Structure formats: structure tokens, C-alpha cells
Amino acid sequence: MLTKRIVPCLDIKDGRTVKGVNFVDLRDAGDPVVLAKQYADLGADELVFLDISATQEKRKTMHDMVLKVAEQVNIPFTVGGGISSVEDVDDLLHCGADKVSINSSAVKRPVLINELSEKFGSQCVVVAVDAKKIGGEWFVHLAGGTIPTEIKLFEWAKEIEERGAGEILFTSMNHDGTKAGFANEALAKLSELVNIPIIASGGAGTIQHFADTFKKGKADAALAASVFHFGEIAIIDLKKELKRQGISVRL
Amino acid sequence: MNLKIVNYGAGNIKSIQFAFQRLGYNAQLSNNADEIINAEKVIFPGVGEASSAMKMLKETGLDLLIPKLSQPVLGICLGMQLMCNYTEEGDTKGLGIFKTNVKRFSNGVKVPQMGWNTVENLKSDLFKNINEKDYMYLIHSYYAENCEEAIATSDYEIEYASALENGNFYGVQFHPEKSGTTGEQLLKNFLEL
């Protein structure tokens, strides 16, 4: 039986893991490769690296990092942040990334989704969507959720699927950082609307939040950062409890 | 060991190379017929779309070479699917090594299947020291129909062949290079065949 995936997310700046990582027993928690290996050993099902650096050398440092991760880590990983062309994706896949995640660039030029899925296959194209609920309606936001658009979440999700993406990574700006649970109502609606896997993101605070997003939110995977980085939730404990609640996980 | 990965422009082969490197082996990329014929073991990878991958194979003549190889050959993901008789993806005739067909999952389930699924009904030495219901990482929209050559099955809406064997030819739908320590065990087993 296909299992639900637990996905730690690492923010990367200039080739280093950004703040908020507090593993006591790591010799260098700023080294994304060390951290990634640790997560793979601890039972993470997949990893996401989000590059938030804005420097000119960004591309090269990211390539170096992806190469090192691919060399040493034996689980799949996705790379996102500032990817806007077929060439960008070609480079990252050649360095060993399994999937790439695009966000603002897909909103600005939706045909990019078609181009990528036709050239590389749907399976490696993740479209990340940041959205915020305003007056009862969900609107897509850009640039890490800072710039609002007129685009409605559910219409955009449908378009993402039709253009050939293999997966949607949905972050609720209303829930992100609150540690009060995932946006399960919107997630469930997304899951019914499209037939590609959905990764839930934003709001993880407790183990029960994960259980809820798989049951009520019908998510296929759940992504979180700080609860894992600060050791608030151990992946093994999380998976044991999910299993106890009848949710299929890899243990 | 002389280990070659067939390089015909399909997909992320770096990961396969790295996986063998972690096991202490140097797997080289090649599209040269003599090099491939003389290798002790051959890996036939593939990610992407079936008809364009088959087109690339034909352009290099590898479509004729691969079925004639006599050493152990391991097809991975799309590589395995191309070794079958036929695939619905792009209405593509395969290499005919495995006597089964490849079909698309219905819309009763999320497509692609993405993530970790169990392998069951394990039969071959390829699965030595791997247990029934161990997990492998899969990412695919098309599946090989269950058949006599199946050496592992998985369940996603239906029971399908997640690994195949015919003589010296092996194929796996999952990505052993991305399937943690279980996947590494399978690659090790392949090297010991």
C-alpha cells in the first residue's frame, strides 16, 4: 500500500541551511548535506530544499549543494527557489535532483509547466502554491506569500494539473508559522478537485496536526520545517502515532 | 567490476551512478556498443516519456543491442517498461524482453503514484535479504501488468508487476537508487548475480 509521506523542508541561503536548525548531536547543522543524511536516517520519506538566497552566485552554489546531496543521500529530494526556465531545470536534474519545484515563475508564465513536463516528464515537476484566504476566498500569492494576486487557488490548481505538473505543494499563508494545524478544508477540496498528489504545508505544530491533514485534509504528503529542525517532533514518534491511528506510513 | 549505465539521454542517471559509488563501485556511463557488450553488468535506466525514449534508443541502435546482451541487465523505471512488449504511453512498441504490457493507472487513484509502496510476492535472488512488504520508492503513471515473469508485485488500485525477470534480464519499476537501505541491498544483490 502506498504510504503517506513525511517531508522535512530545509531553507538554504548561499549553500548553507538557514537559522532554525537545532539538532544537538550534529557537528554542523548548517551543512545541508549533513542534515539531509540525518533526516534520511531518521525516517524522512523525502526532502525539500528551498533556496532563498538572492546572490549572483546562487546558481553555482545550489548546483554544488545538489551534487553533494545526490552523492550522499539515498532518498528522493526536491529543489526549489528561483527556478524559471527549462535550462535551470535541466541543470538541476543533471546534478541529481529528483524533482524541482516552481512557484512565481509558473504564475508569471504558466506555459513553463507544459514545457517542463513535456521535456522532463510530469513526475519531476512540482508546482508550489502559496495562498491566503481573504473574505472567504483563497487567492494565490507570490514571492514567498508577500505579493497578492487576483488568481483563485482552486482555478489555478486545476490549471496546474491540466498543464502537466506531477504534484502540488500547497502552503496556506493563514496557517504558516502558526503551529495551529494545516489548512485541511482547503486541502481536502484540492484533493477532490485534482488527481495529482498534494503536499500539505504550513501550520504543523503537533503530531495530531499531521494525522488530521492526512485524514481530514486528504493530503498525500505533509511538509514541515521547524517542528523537525528543533526536535519538537521526532519523525519516528510521528510515524508510530500515525500508524496507531490507522494511517499507512513507512516504518 | 566493469559496470556500465546505458546513456541514451533519458533522465536522472547521476543518482544511479552515485548509488553505486556509495556501495564502492564505479559505474560508467556509455552509449558505445562494444563497451556495453563487454561490461559484466549493465544498468538500463530511464525517466521521462516512453515514445521519445524509444526514439532515442533507436537513433543509437541500442534498441537492437540490448535484447541480445547475455550478462545481467537491470532496467529501472521507464527502462523496465521499455523492456516489455508494449506500452500505452505514446502507443509505443517495446523491446519485447518481458512478455507483458504497460498500461496507465485509471483516474480512480492519484496519478502519478508517488512515494513509498511495499513489494510483495518476492521471488528472485535480486531480493535476497529483502523482506516481504519492505518499502521501495516509486514514481510512475504507467504500470506493467502482472504476469508469470513478475518477481515482485505492488498494489496501487490493482496488483501489478513491480519487478520482472527473464533469463539474464531484470527490471524494477521502483528506484532502488532512491529507496534507502532496502534499495541499496537490491543493487548489491544485482552486482552479486
The DSSP call for residue B120 is B
Q: What is the ipTM of this complex?
A: 0.93
The DSSP call for residue B177 is G
pLDDT of residue B117 exceeding 90, the answer is yes
Backbone angles phi, psi at B180, to 5 degrees: 55, -145
A5-244, what's its fold?
TIM Barrel (3.20.20)
Report how far residue A6's alpha carbon sits from residue A129's, in angstroms, rounded to the nearest whole number: 19
The CATH number of residue B49's host domain is: 3.40.50.880
What is the pLDDT, as a whole number, of residue A3?
98
Nearest one of A107, A9, A122, A96 to B142, comparing CA atoms: A122
User: Which residue in the block uniquely carries the three cell numbers 537545532?
Assistant: A22
Write out chain A residues lying below 8 Å of B138, CB-based.
2
What is the pLDDT, as a whole number, of residue A29?
65
Which residues is B164 bridged to in the sheet? B150, B171
How many CB atoms neighbour CB B54 within 10 A? 24
- By C-alpha distance, the chain B residue nearest A97 is B12
Q: How many domains does chain B have?
A: 1
Chain B: nearest CA to A67, how far in angstroms?
Answer: 9
- Given the residues A45, A51, A130, A176, select the one marked as catalytic: A130
Q: Which of B14, B107, B140 sits opposite A70 (nearest CB)?
A: B14
What is the pLDDT, as a whole number, of residue A24?
47
The answer to whether A64 and A70 are in contact (CB under 8 A) is no
**Cis peptide preceding B176, ω within 30 of 0:** no
Chain B: nearest CA to A195, how far in angstroms?
Answer: 5
Answer whether A167 sits within 8 Å of B18, measured CB to CB: no
For A13, B29, B38, B39, the CA distances from B42, given in Å and listed in that order, are 39, 10, 10, 7
Give per-residue pLDDT as tens, B156-174.
999 999 999 999 999 999 9
A66 close contact with B: CB closer than 8 A: no
Q: Name the helix (H) or strand (E) containing B190.
A: helix B180-192
Helices (H) then strands (E): counts for chain A? 10, 11
Q: Which of B76, B104, B114 is most worth mutating to test chain A (most A CB atoms within 10 A of its CB)?
A: B114
Which residues is B150 bridged to in the sheet? B164
Give per-residue pLDDT as tens, A177-186.
899 999 999 9
Nearest one of A220, A205, A199 to A48, comparing CA atoms: A199
Burial class from Cβ neighbours inside 10 Å (0-12, 13-18, 19+) for residue B25 reads middle
Answer whether A166 sits within 8 Å of B112, measured CB to CB: yes
What is the pLDDT, as a whole number, of residue A126?
98
Write out chain A residues lying below 8 Å of B120, CB-based.
none
* SS3 at position A212: helix
Q: Which of A71, A197, A250 sits opposite B114 (nearest CB)?
A: A197
Answer whether A75 sits within 8 Å of B137, measured CB to CB: yes
Average pLDDT on B120-149 reads 97
Q: How confident is the model at residue B146 (pLDDT cuts 50, 70, 90)?
A: very high
Taking the domains of chain A in order of start, what are their residue ranges?
Answer: 5-244
Q: Which of B116, B131, B143 is most worth mutating to test chain A (most A CB atoms within 10 A of its CB)?
A: B116
Which residues is B41 bridged to in the sheet? B3
> Is A11 one of the catalytic residues?
yes
Higher pLDDT, A30 or B150: B150
What is the pLDDT, as a whole number, of residue B122?
98
Q: Where are the beta strands (DSSP E) in A160-216?
A: 167-172, 198-201
Report how far residue B26's alpha carbon sits from residue B29's, in angstroms, rounded to the nearest whole number: 10
Range of the domain at B67: 3-192
- AA identity, residue A103: N
What is the pLDDT, as a whole number, of residue A119?
86
Ranges of residues in chain A with a pLDDT under 50 are 24
What is the pLDDT, as a whole number, of residue A19?
58
The DSSP call for residue B28 is E
